[in-house]
């Protein structure tokens, strides 16, 4: 009798544990986690990452894991290296200045109630635009008053050690500057500009974050960035002394995209995140990224009045980037590194 009672008690304990574990597993499984690789400034101290994560989780109940992976170039390289074993469901921050293998992405859609700005569209049916910007040199007018008005001006000796550039091999902003010089000088002349700047620039940083950090620390009064960069300084520092310069020879535009990976097991959740990026998250992204929103209906604060919209804007040619970017970068390396 005693032995039987002990067996019954043990059975009850075992069953209780199994049921409890089952409920715990069921509860855990019911909370989906979406893993998104993004560039480092998106998750920086002043980036939109934290607010986007909080807002999306509160609205959908989906756990969002934003993973910083360096620059936009690093994002795709990391996914390529990891292959089918990648933990990422999505990649956020792919610029149209970056060479892309579209075959790794799953189809994506845009909600019918979202009207995209300008001529923005889904790239190859898989990459969804969420913001865009226009490359420009940004000046600290408290440290420099003789402002350049063209790319050629920057090669003048009077700007020696006053300009911070970015490496086109490691940063989409650097690649954007490379394409900008191709817009202005063509294949025959773009390297001449870079060779002139090799001695004139203070440094060539490996990322936008490091370059803009040097700029804000006062290392040099001119840096390659975006026409929207002054928005940040107006909103958070209450100053209009940081301005974007409009050049007479035009500017190059950049669109940033997010894409769902084919290997993801959470494609519905990933699509929900894309929907959030283009609706509730648009103002937050525009303000904290200091970029223009992809959704044309987004209401922006008055600080965006300080974002220059140049009269001449060049756009990226995806076919050209796919076919020739590697050779341009190789030529750049030979001219600038050796």
Sign, Cα dihedral of 331, 335, 336, 338: positive
Burial string for 292-314 (b: 16+ CB within 10 Å, else e) reads bbbbeebeeeebbebbbebeeeb
The average pLDDT across 224-228 equals 97
The average pLDDT across 183-197 equals 97
Architecture of the domain delimited by 133-253+310-336? 3-Layer(aba) Sandwich (3.40)
The average pLDDT across 189-216 equals 96
Joined tokens for residue 287 = 């303000």
Joined tokens for residue 76 = 């795709």
Structural domain spans, the chain: 33-132+255-306, 133-253+310-336
pLDDT tens-digit readout, 62-72: 999 999 998 87
Query: With 0-12 CB in 10 A as exposed, 13-18 as middle and 19+ as buried, what is 265?
Result: exposed
Q: How far is CA 27 from CA 22, 32, 183, in A?
A: 8, 10, 55
Separation between Cα atoms, residue 31 and residue 51, nearest integer Å = 20
pLDDT tens-digit readout, 14-71: 334 433 444 333 333 456 899 999 998 898 887 899 999 999 999 999 999 999 998 8
What pLDDT sits at residue 276?
Answer: 97
Separation between Cα atoms, residue 147 and residue 221, nearest integer Å = 10
Question: Of residues 164 and 75, which shows the higher confidence score?
Answer: 164
Q: What is the pTM of this model?
A: 0.84
Angle at 37 between CA 32 and CA 40, to 5 degrees: 130
Taking alpha carbons only, the member of 79, 58, 128 closest to residue 50 is: 58
Sign, Cα dihedral of 179, 183, 187, 190: negative
pLDDT tens-digit readout, 243-282: 999 999 999 999 999 999 999 999 999 999 999 999 999 9
Residues making up the chain, counted from first to last: 338
- Which pairs from 61-65 meet CB under 8 Å and 24+ separation? 61/31, 62/31, 62/32, 62/33, 62/34, 62/269, 62/272, 62/273, 63/31, 63/32, 63/33, 63/34, 64/33, 64/34, 64/36, 64/273, 65/33, 65/34, 65/35, 65/36
Same fold, 33-132+255-306 and 133-253+310-336: yes
Architecture of the domain delimited by 33-132+255-306? 3-Layer(aba) Sandwich (3.40)
What pLDDT sits at residue 82?
Answer: 95
CB-based contacts of 283, cutoff 8 Å, min separation 6: 293, 298, 299, 300
Taking alpha carbons only, the member of 96, 89, 92, 88 closest to residue 47 is: 92
* pLDDT interval class at 97 (50, 70, 90): confident
Separation between Cα atoms, residue 149 and residue 122, nearest integer Å = 34
With left for phi above 0 and alpha for psi between -120 and 50, is residue 67 left, alpha or beta? beta
pLDDT tens-digit readout, 117-170: 988 999 999 999 999 999 999 999 999 999 999 999 999 999 999 999 999 998
E strand intervals along the chain: 33-38, 63-68, 90-95, 127-140, 163-166, 203-205, 222-226, 242-245, 251-260, 292-293, 313-314
Separation between Cα atoms, residue 118 and residue 130, nearest integer Å = 13
Burial string for 183-218 (b: 16+ CB within 10 Å, else e) reads bbbeeeebbebbeebeebbbbbbbbbbbbbebbeee
Confirm if 87 and 35 have CB atoms less than 8 A apart.
yes
What pLDDT sits at residue 19?
Answer: 39
């Amino acid at each position: 009798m005693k032995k039987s009672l002990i067996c019954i008690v043990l059975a009850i304990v075992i069953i209780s544990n199994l049921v409890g574990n089952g409920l715990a597993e069921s509860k855990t499984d019911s909370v989906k986690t979406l893993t998104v690789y993004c560039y480092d400034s998106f998750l920086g101290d002043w980036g939109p990452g934290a607010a986007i994560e909080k807002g999306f989780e509160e609205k959908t109940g989906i756990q969002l894991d934003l993973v910083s992976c360096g620059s936009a170039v690093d994002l795709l390289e990391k996914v390529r290296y990891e292959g089918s074993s990648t933990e990422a469901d999505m990649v956020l921050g792919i610029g149209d200045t970056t060479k892309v293998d579209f075959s790794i992405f799953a189809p994506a859609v845009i909600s019918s109630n979202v009207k995209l700005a300008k001529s923005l569209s889904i790239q190859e049916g898989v990459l969804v635009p969420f913001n865009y910007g226009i490359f420009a040199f940004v000046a600290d007018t408290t440290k420099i008053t003789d402002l350049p008005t063209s790319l050629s001006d920057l090669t003048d000796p009077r700007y020696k050690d006053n300009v911070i550039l970015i490496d086109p091999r490691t940063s989409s902003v650097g690649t954007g500057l490379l394409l900008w010089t191709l817009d202005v000088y063509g294949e025959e002349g773009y390297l001449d500009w870079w060779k002139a700047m090799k001695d004139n620039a203070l440094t060539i940083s490996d990322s936008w974050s490091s370059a803009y950090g040097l700029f804000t620390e006062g290392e040099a009064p001119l840096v390659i960035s975006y026409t929207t960069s002054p928005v940040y300084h107006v909103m958070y520092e209450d100053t209009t002394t940081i301005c974007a310069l409009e050049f007479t020879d035009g500017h190059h535009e950049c669109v940033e995209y997010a894409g769902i990976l084919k290997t993801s097991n959470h494609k519905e959740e990933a699509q929900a995140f894309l929907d959030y990026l283009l609706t509730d998250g648009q103002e937050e992204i525009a303000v904290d990224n200091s970029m223009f929103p992809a959704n044309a209906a987004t209401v922006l604060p008055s600080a965006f009045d300080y974002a220059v919209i140049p009269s001449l804007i060049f756009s990226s040619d995806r076919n050209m980037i796919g076919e020739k970017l590697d050779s341009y970068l190789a030529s750049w390396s030979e001219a600038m590194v050796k």
